Amino acid sequence: MKIFAYTYDLQTIGGARNALIGLCDKLSATSDVVDIRMGGTLPDPNSEDSWVPDLIITQQHSIPKGHEYANKHNIPIIVYVHGPNQIVDGKTYDLVLCCSDEQAALIKDKNPDQRTLVYHPSVSFERCYSNPMKYTELADEQKKITLIGTEELKGHDIFVKIAERLPDEQFMIVGDGLSSFLDVANLPKNIELMPRTEEVAKVYQKTKILVMPSKWDACPMVPVEANFNNIPVVAHDLPGIREALFDHGWFVDNREDVDEWVEMIKQITLGNDSEVENLRVKHQSRNQKETAELVEFINGLYPNYSALDSAKVTFIIKTFERPECLRALLGDIERYYPQIKTLVVDDSLEDSLIDTEVKALEARADSKYFRLPFDSGLSKGRNQALEQVTTPYFVILDDDFRFYYKTDLIKFQTIMDRGDCVIIGGDVKDYQKYNGRLDLQDGVLRYVPRCDLRGSEYQCDIVFNFFMGDTQAIREFGGWDPDLKICEHTDFFLRLKDARAGRVLYTSEVSVVNSNPYNEKDTSTLSPRYKKFRSRKSFEQMWHEKHDIEVSIAFNGFVKTHIDPDDMSTYSKAVVEYMSEAQKLRSKRKLGASFTIDELNMALTNQLVAQNAGVKYTDIVSEVLEICKRQKLFSLGYMVMCNYVVLDNTPVKHSRFSYKFPHLDYTFIDNMSLFCHIFERYRWSYEACKYLVDSDTHGLVDIPRVSKNLQMVMTKFGDCDLESD
């Protein structure tokens, strides 16, 4: 296991950094950790040593960059937080290490799915102990009442007031950069300033009482170090500090009450070696237990890949015009599951693999590479591979999938071995969920994001094209429809459901990565042939007609229909179903944009108006706006009006343009969404139209026409009384 501990500033001395160092020291001492490194610069996989960690551990301000790196390289990340407010980005990490039980509870309250582990700061006794053999023992009157820390949250303001109230005592503040929040020039004369130092034991040599008027407990290492040096601690009563000290300390309830601090300090009796010795044992025992729990978690991050049974499982890969993707996937199989037979079916125009690559593939686990005629189709390719499978189970893999630490196919195999399902599916990282029910009634197909709970698996009707299947059951069912070269996904699962061939299960515990994270919207790296053949719409219409589907509503509310220009009933059904479904979903703005661009604008404008279907476009706009007002779908209403006013029935393809507007927090947005935001901002004024023209809108806007249409809309629909949602 290779671990990289990432911290933003190795040169800065402080409890947070020292806690991370202590954690690394404890992990290094275990036999399970092979290589652990620490630094302020994340490893470059393209460097000479090509050292890529298996795990990132990071903390505090380093968390965003650490998470970005881990996500990019598909490796797990553990974040060590020193306060619940450090996890505010809504992300879920593999593990959050907390300094106290209270922090863990607060994080769980914000994100119940987040796994946490309490890991109290680890202290190196050798590092912090003021050994009399090394440091000259000072008399009590030579020692000082000390505050350690350079951040304002440490409570320097209260500490200064305490020093003013106890002029006969000597005080010391250890830290740098205090002038940014403290009037250093006018400090009481009984306060000494000491720069931060790596020689921590020297600080404790000079300290008789440690005072901690902290506003909140960031990382309570300092009080533990004080305990190790038989130094009493007076602290603001915060759960993290109390936990760190096993309740052994003097605690002030009201941080602002200087009188309470002064009285507490006066009452302290110095010296109690036996009690501190007991605390050391407690600290060491607790730390050993927590380190063992952490090591157990780390060891479980990566599956035991060799446990996947080669006698039970075969991989099926259908590839088309993506040779680089295929090579990457085969490399992952070689790395993670070299014992598993792999069947590759290729119907590209040219071979995706050269001879040496084919030989290398077929030399491993009796794998095979099959060539089919160009554009035979995905379904035919999978069916041919299925006929060659000799194991009880097979795994369907797209050629652009990548394996990573969560591709735990042993879990798939364990579920299939129970014998109560024919398919178990997993997730594709960073994609929207694609598991749920298929509800087909009266020509309307709804993808319903609902599953039935069953342990750690859920029963559903459809999953991603990443699943383990029962070979015999899928063969008997008939496999994939060979007429569907693409768009076979929903058809396969609809037929499986209708045939009652067996239960389909889904688990979120197994996933793959898609090497094209933009879902093929960014196709610059794909071959022209792939883009041309992948974008064919005829096969989607084919399976719609096959199942008598007039309208389909995707998991995200996206409405699809194939509108006959002479049949307004089909369009009406699409509008009604969209309106009905949109009420159940959260992001109405996004759904309205999608529906308007792909259906209203393209279908109505290009087909209904152009082919003189007998329906006036303005009447349709009026009808839809009335529905929008009644059902409070304000965003869709804005879209419709923007389409009518700005584009004047001009066909616009569904594409992305690049805009840079100072009041928008993104660059790439749909053209219709752009108009929506601008008109919301400028309230349908002539200035809004002028703003559009003056901006880079690719010649879409003509001021006289827009002005005329704007007047028509305001006359027909009133002064645009729709409000933003």
Mean pLDDT over 62-85 rounds to 86
Per the CB < 8 A criterion, the answer to whether 207 and 180 are in contact is: no
108 forms beta bridges with none
Distance CA 26, CA 22 (A): 6
Q: Kind and range of the H or E element at 398? A: strand 393-398
Give the separation between CA 609 and CA 615, rounded to whole angstroms.
7
Tokens representing 374 are 């160009």
Q: Is the pLDDT of residue 90 over 60?
A: no
DSSP category for residue 5: E
- Is-contact 88 225, C-beta < 8 A? no
Residue with tokens 């009690």: 275
Instruction: Answer yes or no: is pLDDT of 531 > 90.
Output: no
Amino acid identity at 641: M
Q: Which pLDDT belongs to residue 243?
A: 86
Contact call for residues 191 and 171 (beta carbons, < 8 A): yes
Confidence of residue 521 (pLDDT cuts 50, 70, 90): very low
Q: What are phi and psi of 210, to 5 degrees?
A: -100, 125
* Over residues 334-349, mean pLDDT: 97
Containing 324, the helix (H) or strand (E) segment is helix 323-336
CB 335 within 8 A of CB 128: no
CA–CA gap between residue 241 and residue 251 (Å, rounded): 9
Give the CB-side neighbour count of residue 290, counting CA atoms within 13 A: 21
> Would you state the pLDDT for residue 596?
36
- How would residue 690 be classed by pLDDT, with cut points 50, 70 and 90? very low
Write the single-letter amino acid at 207. Answer: T
More confident residue, 390 or 560: 390
Question: Each residue of 612-623: pLDDT tens digit?
Answer: 334 444 454 455
Spell out the long-range contacts of 709-716 with Cβ–Cβ below 8 A and sequence spacing 24 or more. Answer: 709/644, 709/645, 709/646, 709/648, 710/645, 710/684, 710/686, 712/618, 713/641, 713/644, 713/645, 713/684, 714/684, 716/618, 716/622
pLDDT tens digits, 430-456? 787 889 999 999 888 888 877 666 567
Domains assigned to the chain: 2-118 (3.40.50.2000), 125-271 (3.40.50.2000), 305-514 (3.90.550.60), 585-717 (no CATH)
User: Burial letters for 666-702: b for 16+ Cβ neighbours within 10 Å, e otherwise?
Assistant: eeebbbbbbbbbbbbeeebeeebbebbeeeebeebbb
Write down the H helix ranges in 231-306.
Answer: 239-244, 258-267, 273-299
Amino acid at 371: R
Nearest Cα to 219, choosing from 109, 90, 82, 325?
Answer: 82
Whether residue 409 is predicted with pLDDT greater than 60 in this model: the reply is yes
pLDDT of 270 reads: 53
- The answer to whether the beta carbons of residues 639 and 722 sit under 8 Å apart is no
Residue 123 has pLDDT above 50, yes or no: yes
Residue 255 DSSP class = T
Cβ-based burial of 81 (10 A; exposed 0-12, middle 13-18, buried ≥19):
buried
SS (H, E, C) 589-652: HHHHHHHHHHHHHHHHHHHHHCCCCCCCHHHHHHHHHHHHHHHCCHHHHHHHHHHHHHHCCCCC
Task: Give how far the C-alpha of residue 271 lies from the chain's centroid of Cα atoms, to the nearest Å.
Answer: 51
**Cα distances (angstroms) measured from residue 676 to each of 313, 421, 588, 669, 717:** 51, 47, 13, 11, 17
Alpha helical stretches, state H, 509-558: 528-534, 538-546
Give the residue carrying structure tokens 């750690």: 456
DSSP letter string, 36-101: EEEESS---TTSSS----SEEEEEGGGHHHHHHHHHHHT--EEEEESSGGG--S----SEEEESSH
- pLDDT of 646 > 60? The answer is no
93 with 79: CB under 8 angstroms? yes
Name which of 235, 225, 211 is nearest 144 in CA terms.
Answer: 211
Shortest CA distance to 166 belongs to which of 234, 245, 253, 236?
A: 234
Whole-number Å distance between alpha carbons of 313 and 492:
21
Would the pLDDT of 182 be above 60?
yes
Identify the bridge partners of residue 372 per DSSP, sorted by sequence position. Answer: none
The mean pLDDT of 238-261, rounded to a whole number, is: 89
DSSP letter for 299, please.
H
Q: Where are the beta strands (DSSP E) in 109-218?
A: 116-118, 144-148, 171-174, 191-194, 207-212
End-to-end, the C-alpha distance of the chain in Å comes to: 49
Q: Which residues contact 655 (CB under 8 A, 6 or more apart)?
A: 671
Tens-digit pLDDT profile for residues 455-501: 678 999 999 999 999 999 999 999 999 999 999 999 999 999 999 99
For residue 691, the surrounding DSSP H or E stretch is helix 686-694
Question: How far apart (Å, rounded) are the C-alpha atoms in residues 327 and 356?
Answer: 12
Query: Of the given ranges (410-424, 465-479, 573-587), which has the lowest mean pLDDT?
Result: 573-587
What does the pLDDT read at residue 525? 58
Higher pLDDT, 484 or 627: 484
pLDDT given for residue 15 in this prediction: 60
Over residues 27-53, the mean pLDDT reads 80
Q: How confident is the model at residue 45 (pLDDT cuts 50, 70, 90)?
A: confident
Q: What pLDDT digit, counting tens, does each position of 374-402 carry?
A: 999 999 999 999 999 999 999 999 999 99
Contact 636, 592 (CB under 8 A): yes
Q: Residue 124: what pLDDT?
A: 64
In the beta sheet, which residues pair with residue 343? 316, 368
Q: Quote the tokens at residue 593.
A: 């944009």
Q: Give the range among 252-266, 299-313, 390-404, 580-594 with minimum mean pLDDT.
A: 580-594
Residue 502's Cβ-side half-sphere holds a number of Cα atoms within 13 Å equal to 17
How much is the mean pLDDT over the chain?
76
